[in-house]
Copies of this chain bind each other. A is one copy, B any other.
Amino acid sequence: MTVELSRPGDRAPILELARGVGVFDAEEVAVVAELFDDYLRDPIQSGYNFLTDRVPDTGAVLGFACWGPTSLSRGAADLYWIATARNVQGRGVAAGLFRAVEEAARAAGRWLIVIWTSSKPDYEAARKFYQRMGCELSCQLADFYDRGDDLMVFVRRL
């Protein structure tokens, strides 16, 4: 596995992966596409960075992460998504991507990684993953996304 900056050719596999992974609805996949295009156009100006975990030999995309410096903040970076292809889950792809995001955020002078996520049962595995990665649940806002769907904020201090 090799984590590196995403390339234009990763667009289709990333969107396919996002669709296949079962937690992104159509609206969210459209947001991934939009941010990926912004990233390709100008990673600095857009504020979005995509990382791809790929098999070196075949180039197959195993997972991706999207993060960026939080606007109006000097210290925070938002981790928007980490997603692993269904057929390679449980092999440490997401952990490798998370560590790569930590490294990139640290290199960008950031000291916090912030994850804004949902309390829905669909995200239970994601929440446990963030906690394994050293994140703390710092905030929960009831009914933020929808009735019964809270905002949960996890923070990793670098």
* Chain B neighbourhood of A147, CB < 8 A: 74-75
Q: How far is the CA of A118 from the CA of B73 in the complex (A)?
A: 10
CB of A112 within 8 A of chain B?
A: yes
B153 touches A76 (CB 8 A): no
* A28 and B153 in contact, given A143-B111, A144-B114 (Cβ under 8 angstroms): no
Residues 109 to 128 of chain A near chain B (Cβ within 8 Å):
111-112, 114
| Chain A residues touching B, range | 20 to 34
Contact with A145, one of B73, B139, B141, B155 (Cβ below 8 angstroms): B73
* A75 and B145 in contact, given A138-B139, A139-B138, A139-B139 (Cβ under 8 angstroms): yes
Beyond A28-B72, A111-B143, A139-B139: 12 further Cβ-contacts under 8 Å? Answer: A70-B144, A72-B145, A73-B151, A74-B146, A75-B145, A75-B146, A76-B144, A76-B145, A112-B144, A114-B141, A114-B144, A139-B153
CB of A55 within 8 A of chain B?
A: no
* Chain B neighbourhood of A31, CB < 8 A: 72
Q: How far is the CA of A66 from the CA of B20 in the complex (A)?
A: 38
Q: How far is the CA of A151 from the CA of B155 in the complex (A)?
A: 12
